[in-house]
Amino acid sequence: MEEKIIKKKRIFSGIQPSGELTLGSYMGAIKNWVALQDEYECLYCIVDMHAITVRQDPALLRRRSVAQLAQYIACGLDPQKNIMFIQSHVPQHAELGWVLGCYTQFGELSRMTQFKAKSQQHADNITSGLFTYPVLMAADILLYQADLVPVGEDQRQHVELCRDIAQRFNGVYSDTFTVPESFIPKMGARVMSLGNPENKMSKSDPDGCVFLMDKPEDIMRKFKRAVTDCEMAVKYDKVNKAGISNLLTIYCAATGKTLEEAEAEFEGQGYGVFKPAVGEAVVELMRPIREESERIMKDKAYLESVYKEGAAHAQYLANKTLSKVYRKIGFVAR
């Protein structure tokens, strides 16, 4: 009797190299990616094309793109199990982005909440790229016929638009694209800013943000300064104790303990004991990642081989989709 081969579902995700990777990036996304790499066929992209919707220092963008790949690997992403590449190395992203832009309504893009927020942050540089960013994101996903897209709540709207574009195109030209679904893993920790626990931890808020490559003394300083409240009870209460709840989330993600175990551990001890303990847990979690990243960054030939092989594999998959799209819309074959 023949054994039935079960095809793995495909996942696509990416992070912009517009700043250093953060503790939030690791706990909310990359740690989950590592857990998914055996169960799914995964493509993880360094989305440098998305990064330039806001002005970037060219030398810094190049360095961060390669450093981000090193950090992906140091966090546990295996280049033999995942396709890892730099977005601009696969020109099919831009090509499909243009086609999909012709199947996306102006009104749909006008409703994107991230465009509204970023337009306020960068009022002196509101570009068409910032406006059409979600179309390129749709191209990123649909190019690889991804089944699932691991995203945070702030990107769910973009995936919904991607689904709408795919269904619209499929409706006109017959089935062309896999219609993807948002995938929010249960184990993902939503890490908030240490300075303002109402906001997500972001690289644009360096004082409230812990970076993967921070030195231990900088990590400890940031946690000792973390915003809490005027009580002294270490209890999880997102409404009334947002700062402490965030620190408990981080501590549990770093140590593997449950909230109940963490609350019991610090019962009656106060914040003067609790905050440094969270800092120390994060220091020990980040130490091997930082050290391995630094080691990998010294091996330029290895890193180049990873992103070149990743791009070649990605281009092979991308070409299959793009050639089908071009044929269906009426372009002459190359």
List 31, 200, 222, 275, catalytic entry: 200
pLDDT for 2: 47
Predicted TM-score (pTM) of this structure: 0.88
- The tokens describing 310, both together, are 């990743």
Which domains are assigned to the chain? 10-189+300-329 (3.40.50.620), 214-295 (1.10.240.10)
Which tens digits make up the pLDDT trace of 199-211? 888 877 777 899 9
Which tens digits make up the pLDDT trace of 166-180? 999 999 999 999 999
**Whole-angstrom Cα distance, residue 219 to residue 106?**
44
Question: What are the residues facing 45 on neighbouring strands?
Answer: 14, 85
Residue 233's SS3 state is coil
Which tens digits make up the pLDDT trace of 241-277? 999 999 999 999 999 899 999 999 998 888 999 999 9
Q: Residue 223, Cβ neighbours under 10 Å: how many? A: 23
Read off the pLDDT of each residue in 113-124 and give the average, rounded to a whole number: 71
8 tagged catalytic = no
pLDDT for 199: 86
**Whole-angstrom Cα distance, residue 223 to residue 168?**
48
Terminal-to-terminal C-alpha distance of the chain:
44
pLDDT band at 183, cuts 50/70/90?
A: confident
Helix 300-329 vs helix 271-297: crossing angle, to nearest 10: 90
163-to-75, 97, 118, 134 alpha-carbon distances in Å: 30, 14, 23, 11
222 tagged catalytic = no
151-to-119, 158, 180, 238, 280 alpha-carbon distances in Å: 22, 10, 12, 22, 28
Average pLDDT taken over every residue of the chain: 90
Nearest Cα to Cα of residue 318 among 162, 95, 110: 95
Which tens digits make up the pLDDT trace of 62-95? 999 999 999 999 999 999 999 999 999 999 999 9
List 9, 81, 203, 324, catalytic entry: 203
7 tagged catalytic = no
Which tens digits make up the pLDDT trace of 2-50? 444 568 899 999 989 987 889 988 988 888 889 889 999 999 999 999 9
List 31, 118, 241, 275, catalytic entry: 118
